[in-house]
Amino acid sequence: MSDAMTAPHTPTASGFSAASTTDDVLAGLDLTGRRFLVTGASGGLGLETTRALAAHGATVVMAARNPDKNREAMTSIRDAHPGADLEELDIDLGSLASVRAASARFLADSRPLHGLILNAGIMATPLGHTSDGFEQQFGVDHLGHFLLARELLPRLVQSAPARVVVLSSAGHRMGDIDFDDPNFAKRDYDPFLSYGAAKTCNVLHAVEIDRRYRDLGVRAFAVHPGGIHTELGRYMTPEVIQSLMDRISDRPQALTWKSPEQGAATTVWAATSALLDGRGGEYCEDCNVSPVVDDDSLAAVGVAARAVDPERARELWVLSERLVG
């Protein structure tokens, strides 16, 4: 399928749905010889994404902040799949120095990288800052991943065809990136406004990666996994949860919780589906490419037009380059 044959953001009909699981999506696929890196691999969706890919023959580099937890996760996968080909990589996305060091360790050998899955994240945190002084949701969810992807993209090009999958969320509608004040230095901080901005950045990041690298064989997608009970909600106090429920009261489907196997299904679909050959820069949910919508409310299904605006994607890239140095 070529770019000329399919207009960007044309919804797909994959045959999968919100109820599909990782094993449904990967049924019949042999990923032997393919190597992926997954951030946040030690728990939640990252752990299930890693398990599913490894169960189908892929080599998976498990990138995570806590080495002990990461090794426990690795052991749990090998208990279920004794032949799983797993590697570990220590990385703290809240530290640009850690991201640079991890990237250097990864690139120290010449092995290929066919898929980069930017899965790790934090959500609705109290106001805090990374070790480099960035508001932490913007710093961890976007800038840490931006730097990691920038460092590893040359290896993805060498290994092409390759894909980058950036986990976003329907929560991108809760807030937009303020290019003049991304760190809330001049504005009152709101945890969901910050989260929405970071998730908007994730979509814009995928759009610009795809524009810059598609002719070199690397395509990128943003993914909304759905609502899943994971450690992502560790900061969700009863007050914060009520605030979220008030915001999504007009979107009943957002209240349908998925299992981790269902939540990670769109990620592995975006990383492996032949239906996406020749496509990129798109937003996926429920194992399909979603439409672009002008409705910025949480009642909408699809991606807000502002989050896939190519000019804004370029602007975010320039800002991110300046901030990470």
60 CB contacts (<8 Å, ≥6 apart)? 35, 36, 37, 38, 41, 50, 53, 54, 84, 85, 86, 87
> Is the model's pLDDT at 245 over the cut of 50?
no
Give residue limits of the domains in the chain.
22-324
Please tell me which residue in 14, 95, 199, 258 is annotated as part of the active site: 199
Alpha-carbon distance 118 to 101, whole Å?
17
Instruction: Give the per-residue SS3 of 215-279.
Output: HHCEEEEEEECCEECCHHHCCCCHHHHHHHHHHCCCCHHHHCEECHHHHCHHHHHHHHCHHHCCC
Q: Catalytic: 195? A: yes
Burial 13-45 (b: 16+ CB within 10 A, else e): ebebebebbbebbbeebebeebbbbbbbbbbbb
Indicate the burial class of 306 (C-beta count within 10 angstroms; 0-12, 13-18, 19 or more): middle
Single-letter code of the amino acid located at 63: A
Indicate the burial class of 85 (C-beta count within 10 angstroms; 0-12, 13-18, 19 or more): middle
Distances in Å between the Cα of 7 and the Cα atoms of 2, 151, 236, 280 are 10, 30, 39, 10
Question: In this structure, what DSSP letter does residue 141 have?
Answer: I
Mean pLDDT of the chain: 92
Single-letter code of the amino acid located at 233: G
Partners of 228 in beta bridges: 258
Please tell me which residue in 168, 194, 273, 320 is annotated as part of the active site: 168
> Is the model's pLDDT at 1 over the cut of 60?
no
Distances in Å between the Cα of 224 and the Cα atoms of 156, 195, 218, 302 are 23, 14, 20, 9
| 3-state secondary structure (DSSP) of residue 132 | coil
Write the pLDDT tens digit of every residue in 128-138: 999 999 999 99
Q: Catalytic: 258? A: no
Q: How confident is the model at residue 243 (pLDDT cuts 50, 70, 90)?
A: low
| 22, containing H or E segment | helix 22-26
Picking from 1-5, 90-94, 149-153, 176-180, which range would have the lowest pLDDT averaged per residue? 1-5
Mean pLDDT of 198-220: 98
Q: Catalytic: 259? A: no
pLDDT at 9: 87
Write the pLDDT tens digit of every residue in 297-321: 676 689 999 999 999 999 999 999 9
Which CATH code, of 3.40.50.720, 3.30.420.40, 3.90.226.10, 3.30.1490.20, is assigned to 22-324? 3.40.50.720
DSSP one-letter string for 97-109:
HHHHHHHHHHTTS
Please tell me which residue in 103, 169, 195, 213 is annotated as part of the active site: 195
Mean pLDDT of 135-162: 98
pTM of the model: 0.91
